[in-house]
Amino acid sequence: MKKKQFINKEAPSDDNESVMFSFGGPEMMTGGFDNYDYSELFYNDADDYWEPPLDRGGLNKLTRANAYHGSILKARRLMMAGRYEGGGMEDHHIHAGISDFLEFGDVALVKIRDYFGRVIALHPLPAMHTRKDKKGNFWLLGRDNKKQEYKKKDITFVAQYDPAQQVYGAPDYLGCVQSALLSTDATTFRRRYYKNGLHMGFIFYATDPNLSKDDEDDLKTKMSSSRGVGNFRSMFVNIPNGKEKGIQLIPVGDIATKDEFEKIKNITAQEVLTGHRFPAELAAIIPSGGVRGDPIKFNTVYSQNEVIPACRLFMKAVNRDPEIPKNLHLKFNLEVESA
């Protein structure tokens, strides 16, 4: 949130009073990217479905809020989809299904049937707009409050386990959400800092008795309206017979010479990687010290511990459905490559 800017001017006037005013109010930095609290699962009786415990629109925005979070999700999806060898889903559909599975924690796969009711293909529903009712049926939400129903028997539901509820799944990266948002806030603050002319917060302190009331009002007007690119770069103040240091500009929000920004970015990047359990050696991160490890070895270990188990979970959730014939069973390469 942007810091308030203050002017504190103590110039003796006729009644020997000090004057203080502020300009520049608080501004939201994240643009509404901060609603990720896990809420209680409740049933929407009006629309006849369970409301997800996590704001799915917010989770989707989060993929574009941080340089690492969205990229890691894409890398995880490509690693899983790269092991897909065939089955009842087209390649672009397996990418979409895995993407929703990782981003939202679950995905509903529709069984496409022929004239005789036999399953001939699988198609993922967009998880962001998919809801589940008390009977186990699913709704796909559309525009203008329209929705389409899919019966329970026509859906294969693939979900990551959530110990708090068993209606929807839950993504496995929730522990790093606040770190991703902090990184976003730091970057946004930095951009506005430069855009604002490197003056994000200061105190304008005046003690010169020669500063008249008209001068006070004129300074207040100019500084209150001087927001935006190049602030205060061309301000000129002339006080005849004024004393030295009668007017002082005291920065309180100057981060140009401090390294807090770099520290925040490094720490949040590490925490996002940790939240995804994703090796830095596979994330194109240049280490601040030491030597980068062998990415091939890290890829082998990561595939064995993360990618293959996720592929197996996704694959078995589909293949155990008795209505899906064996020729439509999903096949993934579950072999671990040697380093």
The arithmetic mean of pLDDT across residues 175-204, rounded, is: 76
Strands (E), 4-44: 5-9, 19-23, 43-44
Tens digit of pLDDT for each residue in 291-320? Answer: 567 888 999 999 999 999 999 999 999 999
Based on DSSP, count helices (H) and strands (E) in the chain, helices before strands: 8, 14
Q: Please, are residues 138 and 108 in contact by the beta-carbon 8 Å criterion?
A: yes
Q: What is the DSSP string of 196-233?
A: TTS-SSEEEEE--TT--HHHHHHHHHHHHH--STTTTT
pLDDT confidence of residue 308: 97
Helix (H, G, I), strand (E, B) or coil at 7: strand
Count the residues in the chain.
Answer: 339
Q: Please, are residues 211 and 247 in contact by the beta-carbon 8 Å criterion?
A: yes
| pLDDT of 37 strictly over 80 | no
Lowest-pLDDT choice from 8-22, 84-98, 193-207, 282-296: 8-22
pLDDT confidence of residue 71: 93
Backbone phi, psi, residue 121, to 5°: -170, 170
Helix (H, G, I), strand (E, B) or coil at 166: coil
pLDDT confidence of residue 43: 94
CA distance linking residue 91 with residue 82, whole number of Å: 10
| pLDDT of 35 strictly over 90 | no
Q: Please, are residues 235 and 226 in contact by the beta-carbon 8 Å criterion?
A: yes
Tens digit of pLDDT for each residue in 104-157? Answer: 999 999 999 999 999 999 999 999 999 999 999 999 999 988 999 999 999 999
Higher pLDDT, 324 or 67: 324
| pLDDT of 32 strictly over 80 | no
Tens digit of pLDDT for each residue in 206-238? Answer: 666 777 778 777 777 776 665 554 455 555 565
pLDDT confidence of residue 157: 97
Q: Model-level pTM greater than 0.85?
A: no
The count of other CB atoms within 10 Å of the CB of residue 120 is 14
Q: Does the CA dihedral 259-264-267-272 come out positive or negative?
A: negative
Burial class (CB in 10 A: 0-12, 13-18, 19+), 143: exposed
| pLDDT of 338 strictly over 90 | no
CA distances from 172 to 55, 197, 259 (A): 15, 41, 31
Token pair belonging to 96: 């979409």
pLDDT confidence of residue 52: 93
pLDDT, the chain, mean = 81
- All structural domains of the chain with their residue ranges: 1-30+173-278, 43-172+297-332
